[in-house]
Chain A
Amino acid sequence: MAATAGSAEAVARVEARGVGLRAGLACVLFLLGALLVGLAVGPVHVGVGAIVRSGLAYVPFLHVHQPLDAIDRAVLWQLRAPRVALAALVGGMLAVAGASYQGVFRNPLADPYLLGVAGGAGLGATLAIVYASAAVAGTAWAVPLAAFAGAIAAVVATYALGRSAGAARTTGALVLAGVTVATFTAAVQTFVQQRHSDVLQNVYAWLLGGFSTATWSDVAVCAPYVAASSLVLVLHRRLLDVLSLGDDEAASLGVDVARARLAIVAAATLGTAAAVAVSGLIAFVGIIVPHTIRLLVSTSYRAVVPLSLLAGAGFLVLADVLARTVLSPAELPIGVVTAFFGAPFFAVVLRTSRGGA
C-alpha cells in the first residue's frame, strides 16, 4: 500500500503548469477592467454603475430599468461600445498570433506581420484607396476587403516561395521568403502612393491604424475570423511546446511538423489579416504582450497562448482610450500609443523580472 501512496504522490507533482488560477483570473479581471474603462472614458460622462445597469437593461427578463437617456445610450452603445469591442478583438488577435508565430519560428522577435501580412495588407489598402475610392463613391468596404485579400495573397506567396526553397524542413527559408515578399510589396505600394500623392494622407492614416470609425458591422466582420483563429491557436498550445524542442525532436515525437506549422501559421494569418483589415497596421502588440506574459507567468505556450489573448485584448482597449483622450478632441494614431506607452512598460517588466530571476 505504501508503494501505491508513493506513486500517487509522484503523479500529483508531474503536471504541466498551464494557465494557473491566479494568472488566469488576473488576466480576466484586467480585460474586464479595460472594457469598463473603455466604455466609461470619453467627452460625455457616463458612470460605471450606469453602464452596467444600462447593459443589463438590454438583457430580457431581468427587468432592469434603463438609467440612460437616448443620447447617452447612443453615445455608449453605438459609438463607444463597438470601438471597445473592436479594439479588444484586434488586440487579442494580434497578441495570440504573435505568440504563435514566436513559437512556430522559435524566434522571440517574430510578430504576426513576419510573413508579409503587413506589406500585403498595405498594398491592398493603398490600391483600394487610390483606384476604388476614385472610381465609385460609397466604397468604404473596398479598403478592408482589399487589405484582407492583399494580406492573404502575400502570405500565400511567401509560403509558396519558402516551400520551393526548402521551408518544409527549416523555418529559415520561410522567414527569408517573408522578407522578400514584404520588401517587394512595400516597393509597389510606395510607387503607387508616390504616383497619387493626393491620397497620401488617406493611405498614411490607414497604415497607422486606429478605431475611430469603428462600427458594429466592423465587429461583425472581424469577430468570426478572430474567434475561429484563436480557437485553433489555443488548441495548438501543447503542440507549440512540442515544437519548441526543434523540428527534429518534434518529428521524433510523432508530430508532422510541416503540417502543424502550416495549421498554426494559417490560423494566425487569417485572424491577423481580418484584424488588419478593420484596424490598419498596429505595431508592437504581437511582441510586447506575449513577452510580458512570458516574463510574468510562464514561457510554456499552454499559458502564453490563452493569456496573450486576454491580455492583448485589454491592452489594446486601454491603448485606444489613451489614443482618443490624450489630445481630445483630436486622436493620436493608436500605433503611436502602443509603442510610446508599451515600450517603457515593457522595459520595466524586462528589468524587474531579470533582476528577480
Chain B
Amino acid sequence: MIETRDLWVRFGPLAAVRGLSLRAESGTWTALIGPNGAGKTSALRALAGLVAYDGEVRLDGRDARRLGRRSLARLVAFVPQKPETPPELTVAEYVLLGRTPHIPYLGREGRRDREAAARALRRLELERFAERPLGSLSGGELQRAVLARALAQEAPVLLLDEPTTALDLGRQQLVLELVDALRGDGLTVVTTLHDLTLAGQYAERLVLLDGGSVVAEGTAAEVLSAPNVAAHYGASVRVVEDDGGVFVLPLRR
C-alpha cells in the first residue's frame, strides 16, 4: 500500500504537483491520467523517491523519507518511460541488475538473487531469451525484459511511467495484461497512461490530474466523461459506454 498526503513537487518557482493526496491499496491498479504537463510523471517520480518533494509519501504506513534509498528500493520498483537498455547486456544480466537493492554495495549476486531473477524471467515468459542481448529484442520483448527487471526487485509497489509508449496495439494489450497479472499477484500498481480507453480498461481507479492537482478521481465511468476530457485535455471526444467498458473516441473538431 502506498499513499501520499499533500504532496508537492517544485522545480524552482514552478510547482508540478500541488497537494496530491492519493492512496493505492495492495492488489489494485491506479492510473494517473491527464494532459501533458499535468504532473503525472513528477508525481510518480516523487513516489519513487527520485525527486525532492514536500508533504508525505507513506509505504504501509511508514514515512518513505526515513527509509533510506536501499530500503525504499526494496519496497518500490520504478520503470521510467524510456528505460536505458544497454544493447550488449543479456536479458539475464539486465534482470539481475534489478536485484541491486538486495545486494551489498560492493557485493555480488548470490543464489537467492539468481533465483529471484529466474522467477521474474519465468513470470514474464522470457526464459528462452535469457542469454539474448537486449539489442536483439523487439519492442514488446524489450518491455517485458524491463518489467522482469522491475519484478526481480521483489518490491510490493510497482510504478510504471507510460508502459505502453512506442508499442503497437497488440503489444500494448500484451504488456498491460502482464501488468494486470502482476497486480493479481498482489502488487500495488501505479502507472501513468496516455490512452484513456486503455486506462479505463485496466485500472480500477483513475486519477485525473491537471495543473498538478487532482480534478477527478474514481472509476472509468466516473472520470472519463466527455465534459471532463474536453475541459482538461481541450479535446473533442465522444464517450461510449457499454458492458465492455468506457471508450473515449477522438472526434474531428
Interface-side segment among B55-63, B103-111, B172-180: B103-111
A-side interface residues, number (CB < 8 Å): 30
CB neighbours (8 Å) of B115 from chain A are 7, 11
CA distance A10 to B130 in the complex (A): 9
Is B93 a contact of A235 with CB atoms below 8 Å? no
Q: Give residues 280-313 of A contacting B (CB, 8 Å).
A: 294, 298-300
* Beta-carbon contact of A15 and B88 below 8 Å: no
A254 pairs with B130, CB closer than 8 A? no
Q: How many whole Å from A290's CB to the nearest CB in chain B?
A: 13
Contact A236 B118 (CB under 8 A): no
Name, among B83, B115, B118, B153, the residue most crowded by chain A CB atoms within 10 Å (CB to CB). B118
How far is B131's CA from A17's CA once the two chains are assembled, in angstroms?
A: 10
User: Which residues does chain B contribute within 8 Å of A13, judged by CB atoms?
Assistant: 92, 118, 127, 130-131
Q: Which of B77, B84, B101, B118 is close to A244, meaning CB atoms less than 8 Å apart?
A: B84
> Contacts of A252 on B, CB cut-off 8 Å?
48-50, 73, 76-78, 80
**Is A347 engaged at the interface, CB distance under 8 Å to the other chain?**
no
On whether the beta carbons of B50 and A251 are closer than 8 Å, the reply is: yes
Interface residues on B, range: 35 or more
Across the interface, do A248 and B96 meet the contact criterion of CB distance under 8 Å? no
Q: Contacts A10-B127, A13-B130, A298-B88 known; A238 to B108 CB distance under 8 Å?
A: yes
Q: Would you call B50 and A248 a contact (CB within 8 A)?
A: yes
A253, B114: Cβ atoms under 8 Å? no
A7 to B112, CA, bound (A): 12
19 A-B residue pairs with Cβ-Cβ distance under 8 Å, sorted by A, are A11-B114, A14-B92, A14-B95, A16-B93, A238-B106, A239-B106, A241-B89, A245-B84, A248-B45, A252-B77, A253-B100, A254-B70, A254-B72, A255-B100, A298-B88, A299-B86, A299-B88, A300-B88, A300-B93
Contact surface of A with B, Cβ cutoff 8 Å: 7, 10-11, 13-17, 235-236, 238-239, 241-242, 244-246, 248-256, 294, 298-300
